Amino acid sequence: MSAAQSDLSTLLNPALIPELRRIELRTRRVVSTDLIGHYRSAFRGSGLVFSELREYQPGDDVRHINWRATARTGRVYVKSFEEERHLNIILALDISASTAFGPARSRQERAREFAALLAVLASRSGDSLGLALFSDKIDLLLPPASRRFQLYRVLYELLNEHGFQDRTDLAASLQALHGKLRRRSVIFLISDFLSPDFESELLTLAFRHDVILVLPEDPAEHQLPAAGLVRLRDPESGEIVLVDSSSPALRAELQSAYTKRLRELQELCDRADCDLLRVQTSPLAPLAELMRKRSARMR
C-alpha cells in the first residue's frame, strides 16, 4: 500500500475508497485538455485576477470600470487586478431538504456531479480547493488546500451521506462563509436558491469574491407530469397537498411561477455582477459555455 493510500485509509472510510477512485477516474475522462485550458482562461485571464473594486483614480484604464457597481453606488468604481498563479476555488453546496427534489436524479445528485467535475478541474490546474456544505448554517467547511489529498477529501464529503437538513437560511450561510474566507476566492454557490432575502449577503460576498451561482434543475419543477391527482410534499415543512397534475391551469401557473423565479434570480445576478449557471442534465455543456463566455469577456 502506498503512503497516499495509507493516509486515505486512516482518514476516510476504507469501504468508500474504491468508489472515490472510480469517481475521480470517471471525471478525469471527461476533463479534457481543452476543458482545462478553457478553465484557466476563464478564471485567470492572462496571469491577472480580479483583486478588488476601488474608486476610480485619474489614469485608471476606463476599460476596467465596473458599471454595475458605479450605477449602484453613484461613484465610479474600477476593477483592480493582481498577478496570481493559483486560485482559491470554493465549492459551496446546499444540502437542505429542498435540494432532494425529483423522482429519479434529484437536484442534489446533479449538484454533487457538478461539484465533483469542478473539484477535478481545480485539482488538475493546481488550484487550492475548498468545500462548504450548508443549510441554515455552515454544516461542514474544508479550508482551501492544494495537496492532491484534498481532492479525495472533497470527493469523499460529496459522496458521504450527509443527512439533508430541514431548513435553508442562505443569508446566514453566506454571511458565515464571508467571515471565514480571508483570501479572495472563486466561489461556486450551488443551490436551488429558494431561501428568501439573501440579496444583501450575496452582494457583500460578491464585492470581494468572484461568485458563480449554480442552479441544478429538474424539469418536473415547471413541467409537472400529467398524472391526475398526486400528493406533493414540501421537503422542508413536511406539508402535503393534493393537486390535479393534469389541470391546464395548474400547469400554466407552475410554468409562470418558475419563469418569474428564474427572471428574478438573473436580475439578482446582474446586480451582484455574478454569473448564473443552470445545470439540467450533464454539467459539461453548461460549464463549457460559461467558461467560453467568461474568456470572451476577458479579451
Quote the pLDDT of residue 139. Answer: 92
Query: Residue 71 pLDDT > 50, yes or no?
Result: yes
Distance CA 180, CA 221 (A): 34
- CB-based contact 17:11 (threshold 8 Å): no
Distance CA 132, CA 189 (A): 9
Single-letter amino acid code for the residue at 238: G
Distance CA 167, CA 148 (A): 33
Within 10 Å of residue 129's Cβ, how many Cβ atoms?
Answer: 26
The least confident of 205-214, 270-279, 290-299 is 290-299
Of the pLDDT bands very low, low, confident and very high (cuts 50, 70, 90), residue 89 is very high
Burial of 286 from C-beta contacts in 10 A (0-12 / 13-18 / 19+):
middle
Single-letter amino acid code for the residue at 13: N
Query: Please, what are the domains in the chain?
Result: 23-47+84-298 (3.40.50.410)
Of the pLDDT bands very low, low, confident and very high (cuts 50, 70, 90), residue 131 is very high
